[in-house]
Structure formats: C-alpha cells, structure tokens
Amino acid sequence: MSVKKIKQYGADVLRKKSLPVENITGKTIKIIENLEDTLKESKGVGLAAPQIGVLQRVFIAIDPDTKKVIKIINPQIIESEDSEIDIEGCLSFPSIYFSIKRPKKIVIKGLSPKGKEIIVPVKGLLARCFAHECDHLDGVLIIDYASKEEKKHYSL
C-alpha cells in the first residue's frame, strides 16, 4: 500500500505488452492497492499496472459520478459502439493532450479482485478511460493516435 511514481513517456515498460494474471494472489491485490493509492494521489480517472511499472493485465478507474473505484483484471473489450473525438490526457504524459477518437460505449469482460467474472458496460468518459487503459496493457500510448501536427506542436 503505497503511492508509486508514475512511469513517464520514454520508460520502456510503457511500451511492453502486459501478461495475463494467471492466479489472483496477495501480490495481485497489492498491485491493485498500489494502483488505487497512486491514482487517488494523481487526481486522474484511471490507471493501468504498467504505469506503475508492473506488466500485469490490471487496471482501475474511478467513476466520476459515484466516486466508486472499479478494478478489473484481464480485461477484454467485447463490444464497442459509436465513436466520438475528445481531448484526452494521460498520466504518463504531463501537460500533453491529443484529440482521440474512441468508442462512446463499450462492454468489458474481466475478473474482479475476488476472481469473479464481471461484465461492465460503460459509456462516455468511462468508456474512453477503459479503452485507454486496455491500450496501456498492450503498450499502446496516446501519442500513437496523434497527428503529425499535434506531435509537431509538442515537439515530439
């Protein structure tokens, strides 16, 4: 249980593919607790394990309306609907924002920390967040969506 330093763009770990969690153990729970502490400290909406240097398919998000923390292990997007472009930031890219097209609604399948299979339908901001976190688990980052002009703007 501690606040971790969030890995910043350039760190190798952010580009690696995370491994599925085979067995949910005390170690898994600890990762989730660390994610939670770190996210709360950062004022972000979601955080994926590679962002704190752990290559495991785990992410968490805070529902902005209910303030409830959603924790998902081995997530899989099973449905996605519509799309919209909005400005998006990443905790691993301070002060850099890109316009990114994401689904308006998605349904995610995964495991709860108790190992129960869960199916979570989300829309709007949370749908954007879930899609963003799933990208992290595959080593995909927001810069991969940026146009030439946007990259030039930030001298990236």
Partner 1 sequence: MILQKIEAQKGNITQAVKKISEKENIPAEKISESVARGRAVILNHKDSGWTGIGDCLHIKVNANIGTSSNIINIEEELLKLKKSCQVKTDTVMDLSTGGDLDNIREKIIQESPVPIGSVPIYQAVVETIEERGSFKFLTAEKIFETIEKHAKSGISFVTVHCGITSEALETLKKGTRQTGVVSRGGAFIFSWMALTGKENPLYERFDRLISIAKKYDLVLSLGDGLRPGCISDATDNLQISEVMKLGELTEYANQEGVQVIIEGPGHVPINQIFTNVQLVKNICASAPLYLLGPLVTDIAPGYDHITSAIGAAVAGWAGADFICYVTPSEHLALPTIDDVIDGVVSAKIAAHAGDIARNIPGSRELDDQISQARFKRDWKKQQALSINPEKFKKVRESQEIFSEDVCNMCGKYCAMKIIDDIMKSPISHF
Catalytic residues: 133
The H helix count followed by the E strand count for the chain is: 3, 5
Instruction: For Zn ion, give the closer residue by CB, 61 or 90.
Output: 90
Q: How far is the CB of 20 from partner 1 (least distance, A)?
A: 21
The beta strands (E) that lie in the chain are given as 46-48, 58-62, 69-90, 93-111, 117-123
Q: Which of 42, 120, 138, 143 binds partner 1 (CB under 8 A)?
A: 42
Quick note: the x/- pattern for partner 1 over 127-146, rule CB under 8 A, is: -xx--xx-------------
Q: What is the 3-state secondary structure (H, E, C) of 80-115?
A: EEEEEEEEEEECCEEEEEEEEEEEEEEEEEEECCCC
When asked if residue 45 is in the footprint of Zn ion (CB under 5 A), the reply is no
Shortest separation between residue 145's beta carbon and Zn ion, angstroms: 12
Cα separation, 80 vs 29, in Å, equals: 29
CB of 129 to Zn ion, least distance (A): 9
User: Is 113 a residue that touches partner 1 (CB under 8 A)?
Assistant: no
The 44-83 site mask, x for binding partner 1 (CB under 8 A), equals xxxx-------------x----------------------
Q: What is the DSSP letter of 149?
A: H
- Under rule CB under 8 A, residue 90 binds partner 1: yes
